[in-house]
Amino acid sequence: MDRRPVSDGWVGLDVGGTKVLADLVDDHGQVLRSVRLSSRDGVEDAAGLEDVLSRALELVCDGARPRGVGVAAAGFVDAAGERVVFAPHLPWRDDAVRERLSTRWGLDVVLENDATCATWAEVEHGALAGVAQGVLVAVGTGIGGGVVVHGEVVRGAGGMAGEFGHTRVVPQGRPCPCGLRGCWEQYASGRALVARAGRAGERGGGVAEAARAGDREAVAAFEEVGAWLGVGVANLVAVLDPEVVVVGGGVAEAGDLLLTPARRSLAEHLVGAGHRVTPPLVPAVHGEHAGTVGAVALARRAAAAR
């Protein structure tokens, strides 16, 4: 029998291509403790990655036993929440991850796509709380997101809904690693921002800092990327007619540098503009902890349903 004290907290693990973020989270979505480990150094296969997850879990729990674990993975998760089907930046390949981790840790585990988790974080404790119809666009290295209908995040038939980044905005446009051309994230992501600012290899935060200091190239990069963001958001609004569009992800931390040109562009490109309410484009509440907080919200819901 496990004699460790039972903690009041839950653990959220955000599993990205370069880092694992482990957060101890309470019932109200507050992060109590946080651990970050590299998932690149020495991680060559699924077993190596799962060793990193186990270490992160142990460190963040600090001897206590969590009530459950939510795993937010940067990849496609099947509709049953059992398998990581495809994850270009992770070593999991059509792999029954949830059950293996649950057995290894002796804990209840839920598994979900990271952007879907981030959307749940906003629904449960953020900018989408109380919203019946909404959208989250997560602008990071690429673009992910989630759709909220009747207060629930839509998963899609195969669990793959919300991959907005790979909708086409330019016919025969820039090539995308997904194999298509002209994908939205080639124009409106963090990668597009640093490339446009002539700062490839840097992070979006560096471009934001330069823009605030008056660097013209950096300001122009935000204008251009924000305008493309508005184009894609106009497409989403045409399809979904949401009450609000929430913009999250690392690039959204630039705030109005990104959102002001995006709002202008949304108003220009939205069908029926002038005859409808243009939904507000607002920043997400949860920054880099959105994935873990949302994964914990799902772990809590799963526990309540058992």
**Minimum separation from the CB atom of position 165 to Zn ion (A):** 6
Question: Which residue from 67, 98, 125, 166 is in contact with Zn ion, where contact means CB under 5 A?
Answer: 166
Q: Write down the residue that tokens 């206590």 correspond to.
A: 64
Question: Which residue from 37, 79, 170, 176 is in contact with Zn ion, where contact means CB under 5 A?
Answer: 176
Main-chain dihedrals φ then ψ at residue 184, nearest 5 degrees: -50, -40
- For residues 139-173, one letter each, b for 16 or more C-beta atoms within 10 angstroms of the residue's C-beta and e for the rest, the string is bbbbbbbbbbeeeebebeeebbbbbbbbbbbeeee
Which one, 88 or 287, has the nearer CB to Zn ion?
88
Q: Which stretch binds Zn ion (CB under 5 A): 94-102, 163-171, 222-230, 286-294?
A: 163-171
The mark string for 98-137 relative to Zn ion (x by CB under 5 A, - otherwise) is ----------------------------------------
# binding residues, Zn ion (CB under 5 A): 5
Main-chain dihedrals φ then ψ at residue 266, nearest 5 degrees: -60, -45
- Asked if residue 90 binds Zn ion (CB under 5 A), the reply is no
79 near 155, Cβ under 8 Å? yes
**Minimum separation from the CB atom of position 108 to Zn ion (A):** 35
60 near 34, Cβ under 8 Å? yes
Which residues from 179-238 bind Zn ion, rule CB under 5 A? 180, 183
Q: Rounded CA gap, 201 and 158, in Å?
A: 34
- Strand, helix or coil for residue 93: coil
Q: Which stretch binds Zn ion (CB under 5 A): 30-38, 168-176, 235-243, 290-298?
A: 168-176
Binding residues (CB under 5 A) for Zn ion: these are 166, 176, 178, 180, 183
